[in-house]
């Protein structure tokens, strides 16, 4: 048998990075060592809905786990109050330091003591991570100083003198506050190894732009798109009906801050036109929802109601136009304006007549109810220019595309926001698009392709328009995996006093979340049901009614626990975090967040839902499998060096 004269091109490329056998051996030893380290901690959040203060607090506190580590580390040396103060400093360094500075408590001695405490805490939370991971999360401006404080290797007496000198220099250079802030933020970042957002960053709350700014600072984040994210993504790309939906929801929940301050959206034309058209209309059914901690500051509620009605009518017209040009969506039944008899002011559904609760429609032509008036078209064009020219919105949506998708498979867990559409018999619903039928995983992959076309195709191209129309279907279409209901009854709830028409029937998926149903879904995505899980959100868990977030005999977790204030009266809590560390899967059940609270004692209720049979190592993770593949390649490279197949550089 003749020896092979072929040299693996992959190994040749690898030799450029490791040009000697010693370099390859060194990397191989390092990678083998990494496999023995404990698995990093993953955090799963869902349905943030613009509640920036609550989410950021939960994130910065690592859902209370930092407070637990402080207790473990300092329970013999600090009182309970001192532990709480340290926790509050770590969670909210800028707020805490500002308060301490105003109270003249930031003395040189306090700075010295607090830096040592923070360094001890940082050593503790980073001890299970490889040095490159810690270095990745070290602030560049203080990297050398922090590394010295963490890794001084001289004898004990000299070490103390050296460290004291570093801290004295920090004080002398008036860098105490920024350095302490950097340490606190590094502790936050190190405590969260991987961050998974299971959809719905946007709508209802006033701070989705703040959430996006925070997420973009984290080094390891992925996002599974939710229906509320999809509608914002479509709006940012210029989809007119999506723009109207986004504006309407912001008006409904009194969130002018997000649109105007967050993204620079100009609502002045809408204000002017709505107050003119509905000057004598109280628009009572469109009054914004106001929660206890949120008061209208800029616009009178009556004017906000007029604006919301104006947008709702335009949105309904544009929605009907979209369904007419996309018959394959099978949504003709939702062209609701064509069901209204405007002469008799009744809505006709399946031969039954329902009186309209609001009969003032000055912008609707009964002969052509879907047509926009000239003034309405000008308003739509104005808002479209505002959305598509917002640089901050474009940056945020680009990020959502870059780290996002319809689902993610990671460490034997399947992550998605809403549902995998199913039929009553438990089979996967097949939807037909472009003459082809898609179900299960294939449907999710097809959706991902179409959503990306809506953003990356050429402006005004048929592909972009088709993709944007499809995103509207994802927002509210029957059998959409992001919506999960048969219809979105927005029009009926605004205009009809008919509870039977308000009902939105959920997809059979939600009744099939049994162990058998979960097994079918996991098999569909190539996962083993014996040790895999499904993690999703979208539908709030009604804890007050005895509902549990753990479904399918522990194989499926629903982590929408009601972070949005709009849901908390129903759920009874303020959201979940699912935590997956080297020891267990655990649910953190959060209490309502009070932004005025200054104590660091906030702790969620932690429920361990699945202890691991042994402590998980990096070798048990997806990262571990990648490392094992790298080790295999390095061994092959070393063998090639030994055989002389690849020339090694001289020392």
Do 27 and 68 fall into the same domain?
no
| Element spanning 606, H or E | strand 605-611
Question: Does residue 521 belong to any structural domain of this protein?
Answer: no
Question: What's the mean pLDDT in 542-551?
Answer: 75
Question: What's the mean pLDDT in 590-618?
Answer: 73
392-412 in b/e form (b: 16+ CB < 10 A) is ebbebbebbbebbbbbbbbbe
Place 131 in a pLDDT band, splitting at 50, 70 and 90. confident
Q: What is the DSSP string of 94-126?
A: HHHHHHHHHTT---HHHHHHHHHHHHHHHHHHH
Question: What's the mean pLDDT in 624-636?
Answer: 96
Question: Does residue 543 belong to any structural domain of this protein?
Answer: no
Question: What's the mean pLDDT in 379-386?
Answer: 97
Q: Which of 461, 481, 502 is the last residue of a domain?
A: 502
Do 174 and 119 fall into the same domain?
yes
For residue 562, what pLDDT is reported?
A: 67
Q: Do residues 125 and 177 lie in contact, with contact meaning Cβ atoms separated by under 8 Å?
A: no
Do 354 and 454 fall into the same domain?
yes
Backbone angles phi, psi at 447, to 5 degrees: -60, -45
Place 270 in a pLDDT band, splitting at 50, 70 and 90. very high
Do 498 and 630 fall into the same domain?
no
Place 240 in a pLDDT band, splitting at 50, 70 and 90. very high
For residue 646, what pLDDT is reported?
A: 85
Q: Which of 229, 617, 524, 571 is nearest to 406 (CA)?
A: 229
Residue 3 has pLDDT above 50, yes or no: no
For residue 594, what pLDDT is reported?
A: 57
- Domain with 95, as residue range(s), is 63-191
Question: Does residue 336 belong to any structural domain of this protein?
Answer: yes
How confident is the model over 483-494, as pLDDT tens digits? 999 999 999 999
Residues above pLDDT 70, as percent of the chain: 91
Do 180 and 235 fall into the same domain?
no
* All residues at 6 or more sequence positions from 632 whose CB lies less than 8 Å from its CB, including other chains: none
Residue 548 has pLDDT above 90, yes or no: no
Place 289 in a pLDDT band, splitting at 50, 70 and 90. confident
For residue 1, what pLDDT is reported?
A: 44
Question: Does residue 145 belong to any structural domain of this protein?
Answer: yes
- Span of 85-94, 387-396, 622-631 with lowest mean pLDDT: 85-94
Question: Does residue 206 belong to any structural domain of this protein?
Answer: no
Residue 293 has pLDDT above 70, yes or no: no
Place 212 in a pLDDT band, splitting at 50, 70 and 90. very high
- Span of 68-72, 77-81, 587-591 with lowest mean pLDDT: 587-591
Place 346 in a pLDDT band, splitting at 50, 70 and 90. very high
Three-state SS string over 277-294 comes to HCCCCCCHHHCCCCCCCC
Structural domains of the chain, count: 3
CA distance 630 to 548: 42
Question: Does residue 464 belong to any structural domain of this protein?
Answer: yes
CA distance 331 to 476: 10
Question: Does residue 165 belong to any structural domain of this protein?
Answer: yes
Question: Does residue 148 belong to any structural domain of this protein?
Answer: yes
Distance between start and end Cα atoms, the chain: 35
For residue 7, what pLDDT is reported?
A: 65
For residue 67, what pLDDT is reported?
A: 87
- Span of 13-17, 52-56, 359-363 with lowest mean pLDDT: 52-56
Mean pLDDT of the chain: 89
For residue 540, what pLDDT is reported?
A: 73
CA distance 40 to 130: 10
For residue 543, what pLDDT is reported?
A: 67
188-208 in b/e form (b: 16+ CB < 10 A) is bbbbbbbbbbbbbbbbbbbbb
Do 259 and 372 fall into the same domain?
yes
Q: Which of 519, 514, 558 is nearest to 418 (CA)?
A: 558
Do 304 and 241 fall into the same domain?
yes
Q: Is 502 helix (H, G, I), strand (E, B) or coil?
A: helix
Strands 340-341 and 221-224, how do they pair?
unpaired
Tell me the β-bridge partners of 213.
Answer: none
Question: What's the mean pLDDT in 279-289?
Answer: 92
Helices (H) and strands (E) in the chain, counts: 27, 17
Q: Do residues 227 and 475 lie in contact, with contact meaning Cβ atoms separated by under 8 Å?
A: yes
Strands 194-197 and 221-224, how do they pair?
parallel
């Amino acid at each position: 048998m003749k020896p092979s004269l072929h040299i693996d091109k992959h190994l040749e490329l690898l030799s450029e990075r490791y040009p000697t056998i010693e370099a390859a051996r060194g990397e191989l030893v390092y990678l083998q060592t990494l496999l023995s380290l404990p698995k990093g901690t993953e955090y799963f959040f869902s349905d943030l809905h613009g509640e920036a203060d609550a989410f950021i607090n939960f994130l910065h506190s690592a859902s209370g786990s930092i407070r637990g580590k402080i207790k473990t580390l300092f329970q013999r040396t600090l009182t309970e109050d001192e532990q709480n103060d340290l926790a509050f400093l770590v969670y909210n360094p800028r707020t805490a330091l500002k308060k301490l500075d105003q109270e003249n408590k930031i003395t040189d001695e306090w700075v010295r003591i607090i830096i040592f405490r923070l360094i001890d805490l940082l050593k503790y939370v980073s001890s299970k991570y490889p040095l490159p991971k810690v270095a990745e999360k070290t602030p560049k401006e203080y990297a050398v100083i922090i590394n010295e404080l963490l890794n001084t290797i001289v004898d004990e007496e000299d070490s103390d003198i050296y460290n004291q000198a570093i801290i004295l220099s920090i004080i002398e250079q008036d860098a105490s506050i920024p350095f302490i802030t950097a340490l606190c933020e590094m502790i936050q970042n190190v405590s969260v190894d991987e961050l998974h957002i299971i959809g719905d960053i946007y709508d209802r709350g006033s701070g989705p732009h703040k959430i996006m700014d925070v997420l973009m600072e984290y080094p390891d984040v992925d996002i599974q798109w939710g229906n509320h994210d999809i509608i914002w993504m479509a709006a940012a790309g210029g989809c007119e009906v999506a723009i109207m939906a986004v504006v309407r929801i912001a008006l409904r929940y009194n969130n002018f801050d997000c649109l105007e301050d967050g993204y620079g959206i100009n609502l002045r034309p809408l204000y002017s036109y709505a107050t003119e058209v509905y000057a004598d209309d109280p628009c009572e059914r469109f009054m914004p929802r106001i929660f206890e901690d949120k008061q209208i500051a800029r616009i009178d509620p009556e004017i906000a109601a007029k604006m919301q009605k104006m947008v709702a009518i335009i949105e309904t017209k544009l929605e009907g136009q979209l369904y007419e040009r996309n018959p394959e969506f099978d949504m003709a039944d939702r062209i609701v304006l064509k069901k209204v008899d405007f002469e008799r002011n009744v809505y006709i559904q399946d031969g039954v007549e329902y009186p309209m609760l609001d009969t003032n429609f000055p912008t609707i032509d009964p002969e052509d109810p879907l047509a926009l008036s000239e003034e309405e078209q000008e308003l739509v064009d104005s808002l479209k220019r505002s959305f598509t020219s917002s640089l901050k919105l474009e940056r945020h949506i680009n990020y959502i595309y870059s780290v996002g998708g319809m689902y993610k498979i990671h460490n034997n867990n399947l992550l998605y926001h809403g549902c995998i559409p199913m039929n009553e018999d438990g089979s996967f619903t097949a939807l037909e698009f472009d003459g082809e039928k898609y179900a299960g995983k294939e449907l999710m992959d097809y959706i991902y392709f179409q959503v990306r076309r809506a953003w990356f195709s050429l402006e005004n191209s048929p592909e972009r328009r088709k993709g944007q129309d499809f995103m509207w279907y994802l927002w509210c279409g029957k059998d959409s995996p992001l919506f999960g209901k048969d219809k979105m009854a927005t029009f009926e709830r605004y205009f009809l006093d008919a509870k039977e028409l308000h009902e939105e029937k959920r997809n059979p998926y939600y009744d099939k979340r049994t162990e058998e149903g979960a097994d079918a879904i996991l098999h569909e995505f190539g996962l083993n049901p014996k040790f895999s899980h499904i993690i999703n959100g979208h539908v709030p868990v009604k804890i007050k009614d005895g509902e549990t977030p753990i479904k399918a005999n522990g194989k499926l977790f629903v982590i929408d626990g009601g972070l949005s204030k709009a849901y908390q009266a129903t759920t009874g809590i303020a959201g979940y975090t699912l935590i997956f560390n080297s020891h267990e899967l655990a649910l953190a059940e959060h209490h309502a967040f009070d932004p005025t609270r200054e104590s660091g004692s906030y702790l969620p209720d932690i429920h361990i839902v699945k202890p691991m049979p042994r402590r998980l190592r990096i070798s048990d993770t997806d990262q571990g499998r990648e490392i094992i593949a790298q080790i295999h390649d390095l061994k092959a490279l070393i063998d090639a060096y030994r055989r002389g197949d690849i020339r090694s550089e001289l020392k």
